[in-house]
Amino acid sequence: MKLKEIGEFGFIERFKPLFNDLIQDNQIGIGDDCAIIPANETEDWVITTDLLVEDVHFLREAITPRQLGYKSLAVNLSDIAAMGGTPTGSFLSIAIPSSIDVEYLDEFMAGYHELSAKYGVALLGGDTTKSLKHLTINVCAMGKCAKGKARKRSMAQTGDLICVTGQLGDSAAGLKLLLEKSPRIAGYDYLLAKHHQPEPQIAEGLFLADISEVHAMMDISDGIASDLKHILKASGKAATIDVNKLPVSDILKNAAQTLDWNAEELAASGGEDYELLFTMAPENLETIQQQFAERFGKPLYVIGQIADGESIVSWMKGDKKTELGRSGFNHF
């Protein structure tokens, strides 16, 4: 059997039960953005790991080594943010092909250090080895949460609003510009930077984890169409998303118009925005939105609602049903 027949998650389901007996009752293992492990009387550890492989996750000729170092840590800190955690340390392992020189690695580490310094996250260890062809990077990041306060994907409740911390689709648009070798349209550099140097929403995650109305949370790595399903499955809920409410930047709108792209589709299914996707009880929404806007200088976007039912996303355009297909939304 080929792996593609069952996919990444099918593979995980094959071995996950073998380890269930080995996990202690007070630990949370595979299936969330981070594992959760008790640290002491007042705190839990949240720990994650992520792999970046050349030509699968990045194109070496398109991203600068500095950006690649920054992004390698950013995607891991984003998983700490998704739990509402404070990052405390990281481990870095790299398999390096002979085509890469020391100056490249110095730049890579400068980018990795830039983000480490921003959040006071020490590099605590790792490994280096030779690779025959592709540059391969593995990062493990650890952080801490107040005991029992980590936000899990399983916490969504019926009636919760579905929210995001920022605009969607810019990163996917940046990747599309690269892959389609598009001309340097207006906003080209902005969209590419969004793809190559994402910002983990650490402060936003901490702010949200402090609010009792905020329930399930995760970061957006594969696009909300696919990421939201993880929350729905873990929580046993359904969701409705209003396509009209997906926050899209003016830069992406203009790019989509110039290049005949579907901005809504990029916002719904484009990955790697690394914003936070979360659900919250509707009480006190206005107060929370106001506090969020004051603190972060950007709006908190409400894009849909959690309901009882099968774990699927129903897409709406205002009050009309729509469907997310391969070429964007198909209206009934």
CB of 231 to Mg ion, least distance (A): 11
Stretch that binds Mg ion, among 53-61, 74-82, 112-120, 182-190 (CB under 5 A): 74-82
CB of 232 to Mg ion, least distance (A): 15
CB of 169 to Mg ion, least distance (A): 18
For Mg ion, give the closer residue by CB, 230 or 237: 230
Number of H helices, E strands in the chain: 10, 13
For Mg ion, give the closer residue by CB, 86 or 322: 86
Select the residue whose beta carbon is closest to Mg ion and give its number: 33
CB of 218 to Mg ion, least distance (A): 6
Size of residue set near Mg ion by CB under 5 A: 3
Tell me how far CA of residue 126 lies from CA of 50, 135, 244, in angstroms: 13, 15, 45
Beta strand 313-317 with 238-242 is parallel
CB of 274 to Mg ion, least distance (A): 9
The span from the CA of 139 to the CA of 110, in Å, is 15
* Sign (positive or negative) of CA dihedral 235, 155, 302, 326: negative
For Mg ion, give the closer residue by CB, 160 or 219: 219
Three-state SS at 204? helix
* Beta-bridge mates of residue 145: 44
Beta strand 214-219 with 276-280 is antiparallel
Stretch that binds Mg ion, among 38-46, 79-87, 169-177, 275-283 (CB under 5 A): 79-87
Stretch that binds Mg ion, among 162-170, 215-223, 272-280, 314-322 (CB under 5 A): 215-223
The span from the CA of 176 to the CA of 155, in Å, is 34
170: contact with Mg ion by CB under 5 A: no
Tell me how far CA of residue 322 lies from CA of 33, 141, 316, in angstroms: 29, 39, 5
Contact string (CB under 5 A) for Mg ion, positions 171-210, x = contact: ----------------------------------------
| End-to-end alpha carbon distance in the chain | 37
CB of 51 to Mg ion, least distance (A): 13
Tell me how far CA of residue 261 lies from CA of 118, 148, 176, 204, 232, in angstroms: 35, 43, 10, 30, 29
Three-state SS at 145? strand
CB 253 within 8 A of CB 263: yes
For Mg ion, give the closer residue by CB, 81 or 161: 81
* Beta-bridge mates of residue 92: 126, 139
Stretch that binds Mg ion, among 16-24, 71-79, 128-136, 322-330 (CB under 5 A): 71-79
Query: Of residues 219, 264, 265, 272, which one binds Mg ion by CB under 5 A?
Result: 219
Contact string (CB under 5 A) for Mg ion, positions 22-51, x = contact: -----------x------------------
User: Whose CA is closest to 260, among 173, 179, 140?
Assistant: 173
* Beta-bridge mates of residue 217: 278
Query: Of residues 44, 54, 79, 273, which one binds Mg ion by CB under 5 A?
Result: 79
For Mg ion, give the closer residue by CB, 58 or 261: 58
CB of 75 to Mg ion, least distance (A): 8
Binding site for Mg ion (CB under 5 A): 33, 79, 219
